[in-house]
Amino acid sequence: MQLESEQRSRLDRDGYLFFPNLFQPDEIAVLIDEVPRLYAERRQENVREKESDAVRTNFAAHMYSAPFARLARHPRLIEPAMQVLGEPVYMHQFKINGKMAFDGDVWQWHQDFGTWKNDDDMPAPRAMNVAIFLDEVNEFNGPLMFIPGSHKQGVIDATHDTSTTSYPLWTISHGTIARLVARGGIVAPKGSAGSMVLFHSCLVHASTSNLSPWNRVSVYLSLCAVSNHIRRFKRPEYIAHRDFTPIECLPDDCLLKDYDVALPWKSGTPQKAGDTSLAA
């Protein structure tokens, strides 16, 4: 899938693109049917909410789940990122965010590249996020919020919040957010399961808690230009991957056909994936 020139212009201006209903219901069913099994496992890749047993984030499912391994090689996700970045990409991070009914907690205002720079020593913001809705996203179940154009500000000063939620995050001050919103406003793409969002790694975003009775499960692929790979292995490999091999796409029907994919962590997370060091 290739972006048209008008889409490229909007992405440059706003920092994101929204694609309603990009995936069909039978494609999404293959993924959403797999989520309960993944969330039920007591693997270290499942980060649970601070005040409940609900899964906040599942990391690296593409390393041990065949449906998500195929999604990680889907041309509708990989090709636009390669086009924007101008070179092959590797998987920096792969996560299935829960935002479960009644229990899904907030994600504070942040830039993803801020974390990747501070924690992983990623040299430059030459990385893109791709999010796929596995559930309908509406105004009640904690939609992802963007500040359009905020990626143009570059890396914004942030502080390391290790207490608000169960997952540490480099967050942006309220005063800075107020100034950015005064300039660019806030948008929250909403739509059916199967919709997709492509957004810049410096775009400021957040989401509120989910007090509704509806889950808001989404998959996030963080795709980095191979030449821009991380230099520090401070975080576990299931959070910040260390394999910089360019992703090779499968055919477009890969969610509906049983293409062979490697599942190196199917029998368990290797010990080395939890090892950390301060330098590559």
d(CA 57, CA 35): 11
Regions of the chain short of the pLDDT cut 50: 280
pLDDT given at position 160:
86
User: Which residue bears the tokens 């974390």?
Assistant: 115
Number of domains, the chain: 1
| Domain-embedded: residue 279 | no
| Domain-embedded: residue 211 | yes
| Domain-embedded: residue 62 | yes
d(CA 97, CA 104): 9
How does pLDDT run across 64-123, given as a tens digit for each residue?
999 999 999 999 999 999 999 999 999 999 999 998 999 988 888 999 999 999 999 999
pLDDT given at position 277:
63
Q: What's the mean pLDDT when you consider all of the chain?
A: 94
Side-chain half-sphere CA neighbours of 169 within 13 A:
17
| Domain-embedded: residue 53 | yes
| Domain-embedded: residue 280 | no
| Domain-embedded: residue 60 | yes
Phi-psi map region of 278: left, alpha, beta (phi>0 left; psi -120 to 50 alpha): alpha
Q: The CATH number of the domain where 27 resides is what?
A: 2.60.120.620
Q: Residue 249: which domain range?
A: 5-274
